[in-house]
Structures are given as C-alpha cells and as structure tokens.
Structure 1
Amino acid sequence: MTISEPWVAVLDTLAHGVALLGCDDRRIRWINHSAEAILRAPRDTLAGRTTPFAPLGGDSRTDTERHATWWVRDGEPIELAYSVGEPLELASGAVVPVEFRDVTEQRHQHRRVAALARTAASTASDSSLTVVLNAMAGEVQRSHGVAGTQVVIVPPDGEELQVMGSAGFSEVSTFFDLLMASRDRGADLITYRCLRERRQFVLPGRRAQMIANPAWQPLHDYVAQLDWDDFISTPLLSRGKALGALNVYVATGHRATAGMLAFLESIAEQAALAVDYATLISKERLTARSEERERLARNLHDSVVQHVFSLGMQARGLAGIGRRLPEPYDDRVQSISDEMTDLVDKVQRDLRGVVLALQPSVAAQLGLATALERLARDVERRDGVRAELVLDPKAETELDGTELAEDVYQIVAEAVHNAVKHARPTRVRAALAIERGVLRVEVCDDGIGLASHRSGTGGFGLTSMRDRARRWSGSVEIDTEVGSGTNVRAELRLPADRRIERGDGT
C-alpha cells in the first residue's frame, strides 16, 4: 500500500501500534514501527494477514476500547486493546485505521487479582484446609503460563511434608514417596531449601535438569505428565515461620515474569493464612481436650477416688464386725471383707493410673525429663518397683515445647503402668534416644509378661499408645513371653519443621 512519506514519518513516531486494514476483509495493508514490535514481526511478513480486530464499520465503531487476541506464530498469544477509527480513502483504496496496544500482562494481572479475591474468600469461609488449598492450587494452575501446581505444608502433628493442594498432576498420593526416593539417591530438593531459607526460588530449565540427572529417576515419569520447563517454589510464611511451600511448574514456552512471581507470593500469603488458621483451630481443640481431661481427673480424684476409699474403710469395718459374730458367720463375713478390700485396692490402683494419664500438661509444665523422672520415683514409692530412666540428652532439647513431648510421656507412662499392673515386675527400665529424625522409645520389665497381649487382646491403654504413635507417623511393637518380661518399643518421627531446620529433610 502507498502512504505518503509525511504520514509514514508521523505514524512511526507513535508509541501505540497503528494498522491500516482493508474495509472488506480486515487484512493488514500497512503497520507502523510500534505495531511491528507489538506483533513481533516485520511489516512485510504481516502484510495480508487477517486481524482479530472485529467487527469493523457500521454501528460497531465506538470510542470504547475492545480486546482481541493475536496469535504469534510459534509463540505465546498476545492480548490487545484496540479502538477503530473512521474509514479513510487512499489512492490505493479505502482502509480502516486501528490503534492498539499490548495489554497481555495487564490482563494477566487482572485475572490474578480476581484469583486472589476468590482464594481470600475461600480462606475466610471454608473450614476444610484441603478444600481451600486445592482451590488455591486450581486458581494458580488456571493462570497464564502455569502447567501444574502443588501446595505442600509442614503438618503440626510432625508427619512428613504433605501435598494438601494440587492441580495438573495425577496420582498425588505417590509424589512424596517418589520424592524421598530421589532424595535418597542424592537429588537436591528445592522445596526444603525454600522452607529453610524462607525465600522464593526460581529454577529455569528444571525439567530438563531432572530428566538428565539419574538421581531423579524415581520422579521421571511423574514430572513427565505435564509440558513444563521452569520451576518456582514460594514459601508460605506466617509470623516468621515457614508453614509450607507453593510449587509451580511453568508451562513450556513461558517464563517467570515479575508479575507472575508477585502473584505467587500473594497466593502463598493467602495459603499461609489458611494453614495458620487451621493450625490455630487445631491447637484450640487440643487445648479444649486438655482442659476436659483435667476436669475429668479432678472429678475422679475428688469424687470417685474418695468414694472408693470410703468403701475400703467400710470393708475393714465389716471385718471387725465379723470377728464378733458366731460361727459360721464370722468366717463368711471375713471372706467377704477380704474380697472387698482386695477389689478396693485394685480399683484404687487403676484410678491412680487413670488420673495420672488424664494429666496432659505434665510434660509441658515440668519438661519431658523431669516428668519422666517424677514418674519413675512415683512408681518406686507407690508400687515398690525399681524404675530406671535412660534419656538421650538431645531428647529434652528437641522435644520440650512440642506436642510430641506429651505423647511420648503418655506412651511411657502407659507402658510402665501396664507393666506394674499386670506383669508384677521387680524392675522396669525406660530408654529414649533420637537418631536421624526418629525418636525411639523402649520400656522393658522383668515381670511375668502381659497375658492379655499374648492372647491377642489388648486394653484401651495399648490402643491409646498406638494411636499416639500414629499421630507422628510411628508405631508400637510389644514382645512378651511368660516369665521373660515384656518389651515395648515405639518409634515416632520428630516434627517436620525441626528436621528441616537441622537439614534432615534434604
């Protein structure tokens, strides 16, 4: 198309793109320099291409900007805002001028703001942490240039890092087993570095690096599910503590822009709020349960224990009456009195054990070492059993101030109580040691063994011990033989945040 030189000079100075289109076919007749930059191609290759600027002519023309998408050959789509002018008659024919600008990043930002609003609403209204984090992962995955998303958190109960939100990937449940297998082969886990250093990591070409590294072999098929290149890990920070990480797999052909990184940090802030809120709710529930346990302990001590004590006094009084009765009533009353006294003694021992178990704050108030030492001294004084405690010095510093300390104390107390109650030992020994992020607890005695466990049955106490161990991805095993004593072994994982701080997670 022929345009006079003065007009070309003027139009080429404009910052916005200008295109002259055929009135009947919307094809490009001519564009200015800015349009070449925006559409990412020179004039000669764009001449004759059909544009998305439609409709043209008639009543559709307006001063209001409209939006269209320009598909770059072998590249990312560009979002354009444009306005259409009045038709012009040139020597070579009638054309319609269109002024346009690149609003791709602006439109992305609008979508991100909308996503943030939706996630903030979820955080405020949904009580399920999994639902909230899955919704956040979905919002991130739907944003421009993202192939897949994971939200991983450090659970307050000390289990391994968990994927609590995911979008784009399948078989989410297998991810951490594969990740840990890669770690064991020497792979560098950026998520743990993100948590330890509490900063965002951007790794260009991460997919190619992982595929080329044999250490990542367990995860090769998993990461190959999606078409991605770069990896971004953003920490979930609340009150200076890393609660988890937002991991994003950037789609092939896209790059991490400043806008995307800022958006991910904003989503991570929302996710951290959700995790922190859920953790506070969980702690409130634990506090409520603790207070209820203490109330039950007080009621048992002030009411039931006193009533049982009164029954014991009545039984002993009955024995005195029996001695003044003639035969054969004196022997029968004495027998009943002796049986009642034995039952009262057993109930009192059981109640003391229950009251002791219902004191959930003992380890928190005294510290784990002091609480266990007091337990050992109480057993020696009350039951006449020699009690030995072997405590790894690391255990006190690692466990004090954690919920794990209380569960460890209750497991040891229950094991000792079972031994004293059922196995009639002369000696009981409790040992605690920490190795590679695992706490090992062993309680052994020289008694007659636990008949209930040998018969395949188990009381509430054994069930409670196993439940407490499972809270920390652990287990409880019991070996018992007639005349050979009982050995209770428990393994519990340390809280994940403490393993991360020491580097155990990498």
Structure 2
Amino acid sequence: MPVTQTPAFPTTDEIVRTLVEVVPTPVVVADAAGCYVYVNPAASGFFGRPADELIGAKVIDSIVPREREEACSFLASSAVDQPGRRSMTLLGREGQEREVVLHHTALDLRGVRLLTGIIEDVTETRRVRREAVTLAQSATRLGINRSLNATLDVLAQSVVETTSALACGVYLLEKDGQLRTAGTFGLPDGYAEAIGDASRQGAPRAALRAIDARATVIEEDVIRRRLADPRFASVHSMIRNEPWSVVVSMPLIHGATAVGALNAYYPSGQRPPEIDMSFLRAMADQATSAVDYARLLRASREKVALEERQRLARDLHDSVSQAVYGIALGARSAKELLAKDPALVQEPLEYVLRLSEAALAEMRALIFELRPEALEREGLTGALKHHTAVLRVRYGIAVEESLGGEPVMSWESKEALYRIAQEALHNTGRHARATQVRLVLSQVDSQVRLEIHDNGVGFDAGSALPGHFGLNTMRERATGLGGTLDIESHPGEGTIVRAIIPANQTAR
C-alpha cells in the first residue's frame, strides 16, 4: 500500500514573502542609495508602473517636487533608523497626487542596510475631513456680518480648495430672468461682467438650464463651443487659454423657488467624481441658506429702520414740538405781562429759557440719531453725553456719568451699545419717574460693559417684557453681537440695565 507523503509545511520566510505579495497595501523596500530594490504588486498598482520599471528608480522621484527637499533631509537623517511614520504626498498612478502616511523601519540583512515602508493612502479620508471642516466653516460664515457677495466669494473659494474644480461661481436669478454674479473664485478678471453681457445677447447658460430644470446640468467641451458662438464674443479673449472646459451647474432651491445656481469649472475631459458632486450639493445648500439669510437680514433691517423713523417722529411730537409750543405760550405770556407789569416778566422768560435749553438738547440728540456718522466722529462716550443732557434738561433728572475712555471696538458694536443706552435712557425719562440715573461704560480686556441704574418706579422684570418699551429690541442687539443683556427690576425698586458685548465681535 503506497505511503502518502504530507506536504512540507511552508517556512516562515515563505509565509512572509507570500503575505507581502498578496496584501492590498503597498509595500516598498529601498537601499542606502535611496533606490527601490523591492515593490509588491499593490505598490506597483499604486504607482501605476510595473515592478521591473520601479526597481532601481529613485524614491525621491516618487515624491511631489515641493516636498523633495524636506524628504531628502529626512532620508539622510538618523530618524529613519527608528520605526516611525511620516505624512507626505506621493505621485501615484498617472501622476495624480496622493496624500499618504509612510510607516517606515530600517532593516539590516546580511550587512546591507535597507529601509522598508508601508504606504497608507489617506487621500480620500483627509478630503472628507476637509470637506466636513469646510462645511462647518461655511455654515459658521452665514452668522458673520459680511455682505452676501463676500460670503459667496469665500464659499466659491472653499469649493476650489476642497475639490478638484479649478474655479467656481455663484449666480443669482434676478426678477428680469437674468443672472447676477454674486460670488466667484478662480475665474478671469472681468469674467462676471463679460458673461453677463453674453447672456443679454442670448448666449445659453448652464446655470439657467439648471434653474429651469431644477436639476444638475453638466456641460462638456465648453470652451470650444463658446469660442465658436458669436453670442459669447465678450468672453472669447478671457476663456481662450483657460484650463477648464467642463461646467457643473447645480440649482439653488429655496422651498419651491429657484434663486440661482452654483457653477464648478473642471479640467477638460474630467467629469467630477461622486465625492465632489456630493460636496457641491452640500455647498449649493449653503449658498441657498446664505441667500435666504441675506433676504431675512435685509427685511429685518428695513423693519428696524421703519421703527426708528416712527420713534423719531413720536419723539419730535412728544418733546420738541411740545417744547416749541410751550416756548410760544411763555413768550406770549411775557409779552402780555410786559405791557401790564414788567416786574412779572422774569418768570415766563425763565420758563421760555428752560424749554429752549430742553428743546435744544432734544434736537441735538435727535439729529445725532439721524446722522450715524457722528457716532464715529464723536465716539460712543460723546454720543451718550447727548442723551444724558436730555435727561438733565428735559426731565430734571440728576445724572452721574462714569464713562471712562472710549472703548476699543468696531463701529457696529458701538452703535449697538448706543442704541441700547438710548432706549434705556428713553424709558427712564418717559416711564420710570426717576430722579437719579447712573450711567457706567467700561472696558475690561475683551469685554465692554454698559450699565444704567435708575431709582424709578421699576417693574416686574420676570413677567413678559412690555413691548412698547423696546426691551426685546435691546436684548436682540446685544445677543446679535455675541453679548448679553440683563434687566434687574422690581416694582418700587428702580431698574438696572446691563449690557456686555465682546469688543472684537461683529453682528451675526
């Protein structure tokens, strides 16, 4: 009976050699001269070159040129003698840049010093991370007080820096059906105006097609077709040497309404990968949110402006017009007494004088409100003094000022504090029946504090705030700048209004 021989168990060397050959992770070995002496099949696939072509090639040639000098210093240092890892950018298949982490260790085989490396491709992982960061930053920017165009310019820049797009533009749909360029990055100077001219000549736009279809539109061979179309004559000289020729256009949809489109411009013959498309859709949503935020902000500012005009009209009627009426009555009384008993004229004249001073103080304060540039010229402390003067002259309230120096903060923050103080002092004069007011303005490090104390009748601060006192608006002004507004008051115990605003903050 024949004896069956058991196959010899593979040696450790054979197992390791086979394992290195079949693992999907690129493994390379270089000699002391910095040349490849071994690459496994995964490494050959990573570089897009056969193994026999890589063997003998210099490792440094696989690194992107901008990192080669630093890499040479590293390879020549003693750091490579110890196991470790290093981030770098390698030239992968077809010269594409790939972000990698190289896990390296030195070997000494039969007296020959070798450097082994395991290549971990982290390109997509880092891209996803960057996209997440960009989206978070983009969402945050919607809360920063900058113009819509500036916001969309930054958004377009984020698209180019995060994807393989070469340029980006955000276009908004106007009432006449034309597109207005609202944000760009990477497009030629003057392109926005020129493409607008072409559109008015009837030139087709990918953005308009995307808006009409409510769907993504991808146009290829764009440069050649536009150069052949006389309707695009205004942009011919600008796009002739542009490296992009694929345009991806995504509509900006708010609710059921298309408000514009986001265009990303890609190299000739290169359709964007799906990871780019997902990111572009997310950024289109961000652009839509920015447009809607700007619309709400504009409506809010118009409402505030209307309320300010109505309040100014009330103040003119309640204070200045009444003061002028009182002056007229006092002057008439003085005239009558002058004919009957000149000795009695002094009292009505003093009355006229007091009303005149009050009216003058009121007018100065109102004119200051109508000319906001005066806040920049006279500063916040000067603006507050206008209103304390009104309290003294008009209402006979004793005012203690502790204004310190002019706070170091943006004009916008100063205006917000000025409006808060204006409303609080207005309430004190009209409603609090106070005899004393203390106004404190101070800055400690990065915070500016405004406090207004009065000894008036007070109110229940824990109940719903009386809307006609403007207390909700005061709180909105403070929180809109990242600050706080606290109101302490109890019936019969006076009121304290305290606003704290970061000095380096702008409206959100």
Q: Are residue 15 (structure 1) and residue 24 (structure 2) matched? A: yes
Q: 1:82 to 1:293 in 2, by over 3 A?
A: same
Match of 1:131 in 2: 150
Aligned match for 2:288, one of 253, 263, 272 = 272
Aligned match for 1:45, one of 30, 53, 60 = 53
* Shift, 1:240, TM fit: 3.3
* Shift, 1:134, TM fit: 1.0
Output the amino acid matched with 1:58: S
Match of 1:320 in 2: none
Q: TM-score, normalised by structure 1?
A: 0.51
Counterpart contact for 2:164–2:266, Cα < 8 Å: yes
Q: Are residue 166 (structure 1) and residue 218 (structure 2) matched? A: no
Q: Are residue 258 (structure 1) and residue 274 (structure 2) matched? A: yes
Q: How many aligned residue pairs are there? A: 293
- C-alpha separation between the residues in 2 aligned to 1:88 and 1:163? 63
Q: TM-score, normalised by structure 2?
A: 0.51
- C-alpha separation between the residues in 1 aligned to 2:310 and 2:194? 41
* Shift, 1:253, TM fit: 7.0
Counterpart contact for 1:38–1:101, Cα < 8 Å: no
Match of 1:111 in 2: 130
Instruction: Note the 1:156-195 alignment, pairs <5 A.
Output: 160-169=178-187, 170-181=189-200, 184=202, 187-195=203-211
Partner SS for 2:272: coil
Aligned match for 1:202, one of 197, 201, 218 = 218
Counterpart contact for 1:206–1:230, Cα < 8 Å: yes
- C-alpha separation between the residues in 2 aligned to 1:45 and 1:216? 48
Counterpart contact for 2:84–2:105, Cα < 8 Å: no
Q: Are residue 76 (structure 1) and residue 77 (structure 2) matched? A: no
Counterpart contact for 1:179–1:218, Cα < 8 Å: yes
* RMSD between superposed Cα atoms in Å: 3.5
Counterpart contact for 1:140–1:149, Cα < 8 Å: yes
Match of 2:349 in 1: none
Counterpart contact for 2:148–2:290, Cα < 8 Å: yes
Gaps of 5+ in 1: 301-506
Q: Are residue 87 (structure 1) and residue 107 (structure 2) matched? A: yes
Partner SS for 2:146: coil
Gaps of 5+ in 2: 1-12, 64-70, 317-508
* Shift, 1:274, TM fit: 1.0
Instruction: Note the 1:420-435 alignment, pairs <5 A.
Output: none
* Shift, 1:289, TM fit: 5.8
Match of 1:244 in 2: 260
- Percent of paired sites with the same residue: 24
Match of 1:409 in 2: none
Match of 2:446 in 1: none
Q: 1:108 to 1:254 in 2, by over 3 A?
A: farther
- C-alpha separation between the residues in 2 aligned to 1:193 and 1:212? 20
Output the amino acid matched with 2:154: A
- C-alpha separation between the residues in 2 aligned to 1:244 and 1:18? 49
Counterpart contact for 1:163–1:172, Cα < 8 Å: no
Output the amino acid matched with 2:119: F
Q: 1:296 to 1:117 in 2, by over 3 A?
A: closer
Partner SS for 1:86: strand
Partner SS for 1:69: strand
- C-alpha separation between the residues in 2 aligned to 1:66 and 1:278? 45
Q: Are residue 31 (structure 1) and residue 59 (structure 2) matched? A: no
Q: 1:105 to 1:7 in 2, by over 3 A?
A: same
Q: Give CA-to-partner distance per residue, 1:336-382, whole Å, 9 cap, x none.
A: xxxxxxxxxxxxxxxxxxxxxxxxxxxxxxxxxxxxxxxxxxxxxxx
Match of 1:102 in 2: 121
- C-alpha separation between the residues in 2 aligned to 1:283 and 1:121? 21
Q: Give CA-to-partner distance per residue, 1:470-492, whole Å, 9 cap, x none.
A: xxxxxxxxxxxxxxxxxxxxxxx
Q: 1:292 to 1:124 in 2, by over 3 A?
A: closer
Counterpart contact for 1:147–1:226, Cα < 8 Å: no
